Amino acid sequence: MSRLSVCTVTAVAALIAAMQLPSTAAAQQQLAAINRGVVELETSGAAGISVRIAEDLANLVDDGATRRVVPVVGKGSLQNLTDLKYLRGIDMAILQTDVLDYAKEQRLVPGLEWSLTYITRLYNEEFHLLTGPGIKDVSELANQKVNVDLRGSGTSITAARLFEMLKIPVTFTNESQEVALDKLHKGEIAALAFVAGKPAPLFMSLKGDDGLHLLPVPFNANASSGYAPARLTAADYPGLVPPGGAVETIAVGSVLLVADLRQLPERSRNIANFIDVFFTGFQSLLEPGHHPKWREVNLAGELPGWRRYPAAEQWLQRNMIASAPKPDDLRRMFASFIDERRQAAGGPAMSQQEKDLVYKRFQTWQKGQAQ
């Protein structure tokens, strides 16, 4: 090749490279813009409610430019926990609290307690036990097949614990809930267990015409640490519970967890921004159009044995101080408390002067406690 040809080729190559530079820069800017403020939130499957909860959060947080929540449907609670610890890009996950306890007890994820933190406790999820005609008591499921969702799911862990507490031996199957529902209709299994916040989408369309019904699950306060009594009503499942009726069961808490982001400053900032918008706009989630389970959430609720994410703890401390009741409001609340207690005890009402005297004594005691 001649010297002129080499120079020509070199010049053309330089020209092409120069022409590509602006497009490359534009692509990088677009890439940065799309990823700005993104947090990924892993949930359980669509049969439960965490997908809807994540959708509510995404709608609240997304401003179209600097903040965005991307829900990711996970494979099961234990896998979600592993993903939160190791999978690149997963920032948060919604999990049952008993799954956390189980993973900690079994040492399934090394360094779990110090590497993961939580933003807030969320709502309770109810234990649904759907069975067919002829079974009226949970004890009748002994030595029969009960589906508990996929292996590693929150339902499988809760069900194993509950049936062990109840001392009822059953044969667990691990089909997806949709497949299990079909098998229950065909009589191939005796029952279907599912932990989900009520009303769970899986049961909403069921009518109970073919004998399917929800089975009561007894609650034992002494043996059920981490669980609470709950009930499923006709308002939750009009096709499965008669009007005015209720099915007693148990509930387990859920929590919004955060990955270990201490060495990832950009993702840490994204989580802090998410928390600020979530906590500040929380009241809007209580309005119609959002899932009713938001009404169970107390942002300040604690999860014993686990650390709260620093940005969440700081937000709560700032705003709890800012929202402290005024002295006059506190005095009125105290007076109402006195009235209610006197009425409940059947005693005579106190005069305003007597209430003021008791309140002054309370303030004196309070100052002594502070000192």
Per-domain residue ranges for the chain? Answer: 1-29, 36-322, 327-370
Q: In terms of pLDDT, which residue wins out, 357 or 301?
A: 301
Q: What confidence tens digit (pLDDT) does each residue in 34-49 have? A: 678 899 999 988 788 9
The superfamily (CATH) of domain 36-322 is: Periplasmic binding protein-like II (3.40.190.10)
Q: What confidence tens digit (pLDDT) does each residue in 207-231 have? A: 877 789 999 999 887 666 789 999 9
pLDDT category at 15 given cuts 50, 70, 90 is very low
Mean pLDDT value across residues 2-10: 48
The pLDDT assigned to 323 comes to 52
Q: In terms of pLDDT, which residue wins out, 235 or 348?
A: 235
Q: Is the pLDDT score of 6 beyond 50?
A: no
Strands 38-43 and 68-73: parallel
Torsion of CA 180, 183, 187, 190, to 10 degrees: -10
The answer to whether 96 and 286 are in contact (CB under 8 A) is no
DSSP for 28-78, written as a single string: HHHHHHHHTTEEEEEE--TTSSHHHHHHHHHHHH--SSS-EEEEEE-S-HH
Mean pLDDT value across residues 186-207: 92
The pLDDT assigned to 348 comes to 73
The pLDDT assigned to 371 comes to 38
The pLDDT assigned to 29 comes to 64
Q: What is the DSSP letter of 176?
A: -
Q: In terms of pLDDT, which residue wins out, 166 or 347?
A: 166
The pLDDT assigned to 136 comes to 93
The pLDDT assigned to 12 comes to 52
The pLDDT assigned to 370 comes to 43
The pLDDT assigned to 270 comes to 95
Q: What confidence tens digit (pLDDT) does each residue in 72-100 have? A: 998 888 999 999 999 999 999 999 999 99
The pLDDT assigned to 129 comes to 97
pLDDT category at 369 given cuts 50, 70, 90 is very low
The pLDDT assigned to 96 comes to 94
The pLDDT assigned to 55 comes to 96
User: What sign does the dihedral 65-41-55-293 (CA atoms) show?
Assistant: negative
The pLDDT assigned to 325 comes to 58
Q: What confidence tens digit (pLDDT) does each residue in 106-143 have? A: 988 888 888 999 999 999 999 999 999 889 999 999 99
The answer to whether 186 and 232 are in contact (CB under 8 A) is no
User: What sign does the dihedral 9-11-13-15 (CA atoms) show?
Assistant: negative
Q: Is the pLDDT score of 163 beyond 90?
A: yes
**Per-residue tokens: 90:** 């997963």
**Which span out of 17-26, 120-129, 337-346 was modeled with the highest average pLDDT?**
120-129
Mean pLDDT value across residues 320-338: 65
Residue 292: count other Cβ atoms within 10 Å of its Cβ: 14
**How remote is the C-alpha of 193 from its chain's centroid?**
19
The whole-angstrom separation of Cα 124 and Cα 20 is 55
The pLDDT assigned to 34 comes to 66
The pLDDT assigned to 131 comes to 95
The pLDDT assigned to 60 comes to 96
Q: Name the pTM for this structure.
A: 0.77
Q: Is the pLDDT score of 265 beyond 60?
A: yes
Mean pLDDT of the chain: 85
First vs last C-alpha separation in the chain: 93
Q: Is 55 strand, coil or helix? A: helix
Q: Is the pLDDT score of 11 beyond 60?
A: no
Q: In terms of pLDDT, which residue wins out, 201 or 365?
A: 201
